[in-house]
Amino acid sequence: MQSKDLVQLAEQFGSPLYVYDAEKIQSQYSRLTKAFSKVEKLRINYAMKALSNVAILQLLKEMGSGLDTVSIQEVLLGLHAGYEPEKIFYTPNGVSLEEIEEVNAMGVQINIDNLSILEQFGTKHPNVPVCIRINPHVMAGGNANISVGHIDSKFGISVHQLPHLVRIVENTKMNIVGIHMHTGSDILDIEVFLYAAEILFDAARNFKNLEFLDFGSGFKVPYKKDDIETDIEELGKKLSKRFNAFCTEYGKELTLIFEPGKFLVSEAGFFLAKVNVVKQTTSTVFAGIDSGFNHLIRPMFYGSQHHIENISHPKGKERFYSVVGYICETDTFANNRKIAEIKEGDILSFRNAGAYCFSMASNYNSRYKPAEVLWMNGEGHLIRAHETFEDILKNQIMLPSALATV
Ligand SMILES: *Cc1c(COP(=O)(O)O)cnc(C)c1O
């Protein structure tokens, strides 16, 4: 979609605003399925924590996607969006046995990532088909917070604990139907991914009733010009070949599952904010926008780079700016960034605002969360209304007057 469309949407729906390009989500989905077209049974489960608006879930469902969920509330949203329970996968970490049982009762595929719960669940429900999350301990991921496969990670059951795991499965007579891994975000090196896949195959050889292997996600997307991204086509070629060979060895056509979040929605998203103030100090020029880390926390949380453009005046002379928010705490979106000359009132557009942006937004400083718009067939569809003061007050309970006057 084009900058002039974004400017028009900011005028129509106000700022700050999240906009998602449906076509980009669809083309990323197709790219992934095409890269793995040699695999007979392929399934994509969209990791909905990246962007969980029900309209986005509907769009992906239309394309044939399943869902990867990490909480019972995400499962409920998925069901609400019309997904069959069989199309929903539940991969929690550190949740209670009760929540896992509740989700299982809804007919959703559960994935267990620690031996304690595995033993308790298996003893109570030996016949339920269960997937287990392995930690292959390969170092991947662009940042310590998003790298989840390494040795000190809290995620998954260590491959070094496989003998113990197998003993639990034999003792409880559990039905293990899948093996899962998710090594973290931002995988650059395909060889590392393939190496982790071999560890998954090794683990799989311990189980006789498998139906699928789930390779998680972690595909890196480009954030700036000339940025490197995971070569999906190359990964598709190499992993498909290995996967098909493994199926032959195993004696059964297994389903290959991926659970991408970022890959499907990151580049489809634009965050639009208006410049309230241009402030010249002795050291820099600040562009202060009508937003903050309450709406987009990734730069402050992960140090991630979101490309920023002045879409109101894209042709202006480029100057250096520090783009900051209005939160009463330092909330810098970008330092010393070259942007076409900014005037107060201009709309700035942040790229890669589809994944982990709105879904991490909060009401900090008692601000409203932004509205969300889906751009589809050349038209903007409102998929989340602006909040109002009612939303801020909702669930808050005033003290009774007798107490308040003490
Ligand atoms: C977050 C998550 C994903 C998605 O990761 P992306 O980097 O957004 O693709 C997939 N699987 C699990 C289990 C996750 O927790």
- Determine the pLDDT at residue 185: 52
Instruction: Find where tokens 């969006």 sit.
Output: 81
Instruction: Report yes or no: 115 and 161 within 8 Å, Cβ to Cβ.
Output: yes
Residue 356 assigned ligand-binding role: yes
Question: 84: which residues sit within 8 A by CB, 6+ positions away?
Answer: none
pLDDT digits (tens, 9 = 90+) for 367-390: 999 999 999 999 999 999 999 999
pLDDT score recorded for residue 155: 87
Which of 131, 247, 328, 357 is catalytic? The answer is 328
Q: Which of 217, 357, 358 to mutate to test the pocket of ligand 1 (most atoms within 8 A of CB)?
A: 217
Cβ of 263 closer than 6 Å to ligand 1, yes or no, is: yes
Q: What is the pTM of this model?
A: 0.95
Of 33-37, 134-138, 156-160, the range with the lowest mean pLDDT is 134-138
Output the CA torsion sign for 104, 106, 107, 110.
negative
148 C-alpha to ligand 1 centroid (Å): 10
Q: Decide the pairing of beta strands 332-340 and 371-376.
A: unpaired
Among protein residues, the one whose CA lies closest to atom 1 of ligand 1:
47
Find out whether 334 and 285 touch, Cβ atoms under 8 Å. no
Q: Can you give the pLDDT at residue 224?
A: 83
Query: 85 alpha carbon to ligand 1 midpoint, in Å?
Result: 19
Distance 175 CA to ligand 1 centre (A): 25
* pLDDT at site 379: 97
- Looking at residue 144, its pLDDT comes to 52
Confidence of residue 188 (pLDDT cuts 50, 70, 90): confident
Q: How far does the centroid of ligand 1 lie from the alpha carbon of residue 5, in Å?
A: 30
Per-residue model confidence (pLDDT) at position 227: 86
Q: Which numbered atom of ligand 1 lies nearest the CA of 146?
A: 7
Q: Is 43 annotated as a binding residue?
A: no
* pLDDT class of 137 with cuts at 50, 70, 90: confident
Rounded to whole angstroms, the Cα distance separating 384 from 387 reads: 9
- Of 142-156, 264-278, 309-323, 358-372, which range is least confident? 142-156
Pairing of strands 109-112, 129-135: parallel
**pLDDT, the chain, mean:** 94
Distance from residue 216's CA to the centre of ligand 1 (Å): 7
Give the nearest ligand 1 atom to 49 CA: 1
Nearest ligand 1 atom to the CA of 262 is 8
pLDDT in tens, 32-68: 999 999 999 999 999 999 999 999 999 999 999 999 9
253 annotated to bind ligand: no
CA–CA distance, 282 with 61 (Å, rounded to integer): 52
Please report which helix (H) or strand (E) contains residue 194, including its range.
helix 190-204
Task: Select from 152, 151, 199, 153 the least CA-distant residue to 179.
Answer: 199
Is the beta carbon of 357 within 6 A of some atom in ligand 1? no
Q: Radius of gyration (Cα) for the chain, nearest Å?
A: 23
Q: How many distinct helices (H) and strands (E) make up the chain?
A: 13, 18
Q: Using a pLDDT cut of 70, give the percent of the chain over it.
A: 95
Residue 170, burial from CB neighbour count under 10 angstroms (0-12, 13-18, 19+):
exposed
Distance CA 204, CA 134 (A): 10
**What pLDDT, in 10s, does the model give residues 232-291?**
999 999 999 999 999 999 999 999 999 999 999 999 999 999 999 999 998 899 999 999
Residue ranges and CATH numbers for the domains of the chain are 36-264 (3.20.20.10), 269-393 (2.40.37.10)
Determine the atom of ligand 1 nearest the C-alpha atom of 218.
Answer: 7
Known catalytic membership, residue 328: yes
Q: List Cβ neighbours of 373 (8 Å cut-off, separation of 6 or more).
A: 9, 13, 17, 18, 19, 20, 380, 381, 382, 383
Tokens of 149: 């496969």
In the numeric block, the tokens 């926008």 are attached to 289
Answer for the pair 206, 176: CB distance below 8 angstroms, yes or no. Answer: no
